[in-house]
Amino acid sequence: MRINLATGWLEAVRRVESPNYDERPAGCDPELIVIHGISLPPGEFGGPGIDQLFCNALDPLSHPYYQEICHLRVSSHALISRCGEVTQYVSFRYRAWHAGESSYCGRSACNDFSVGIELEGTDDSGYEALQYERLAQLVRALRQAYASLQRAELVGHSDIAPGRKTDPGPHFNWETLEQLLLA
């Protein structure tokens, strides 16, 4: 997996550009990698819901849950589907709107200094081996491309927004990810 440094886009992956991003604050480089879990509708995999949510195109009439969230303006830098397909929504050069109200090591507004990576899944089910492999590849690519991410911590959304968020959930295997990163 390679990142085009001039554009901040991954090469040879699916791209669905989200309008939900903006400039990082001046002098603020990404220093943290946040792992999320998402499925839309909740507990269902493989549909268009995630793309639609990140592109402000979620039809509130297509599922009852969508009526609750169709007003949100959110995004993430990348998504890894259950089958390992990587989709990028926002250039790594920009601030994706993935973390919401958040704090890490005394710094608030984690979107300013983080990269958000979604895994298609739920808090109450495990993730696929291929998702861990792609995640490790993506983390290695980010650490290679950006000096500020070479020693970046990997955290869950639940770590930066405790009490508000629970993803990637208790079934996310941090040890598996660490082993893959060391391989």
Q: Is the pTM of this model over 0.95?
A: yes
Domain chopping of the chain, boundaries: 18-38+74-182
Alpha-carbon Rg for the chain in angstroms:
15
Contacts of 23 (CB under 8 A, 6+ apart): 94, 95
pLDDT tens digits for range 18-39: 999 999 999 999 999 999 999 9
Q: Which residues of 55-83 are buried (b: 16+ CB within 10 A; e: fewer)?
A: beebeeeebebbeeebeeebbbbbbbbee
User: Left (φ > 0), alpha (ψ -120 to 50) or beta: where does 180 sit?
Assistant: alpha
Name the average pLDDT for the chain.
97
Confidence of residue 43 (pLDDT cuts 50, 70, 90): very high
In this structure, are residues 18 and 55 in contact, taking their beta carbons and an 8 Å threshold? yes
What's the pLDDT tens digit per position in 144-182?
999 999 999 999 999 999 999 999 999 999 999 999 999
Of the candidates 118, 120, 153, 175, the residue annotated as catalytic is 118
Q: What is the CATH number of domain 18-38+74-182?
A: 3.40.80.10
Annotated catalytic residue 178:
no
Report how far residue 86's alpha carbon sits from residue 154's, in angstroms, rounded to the nearest whole number: 18
Within 8 A by CB and 6+ apart from 168, the residues are 35, 36, 37, 119, 121, 123, 127, 156, 157, 158
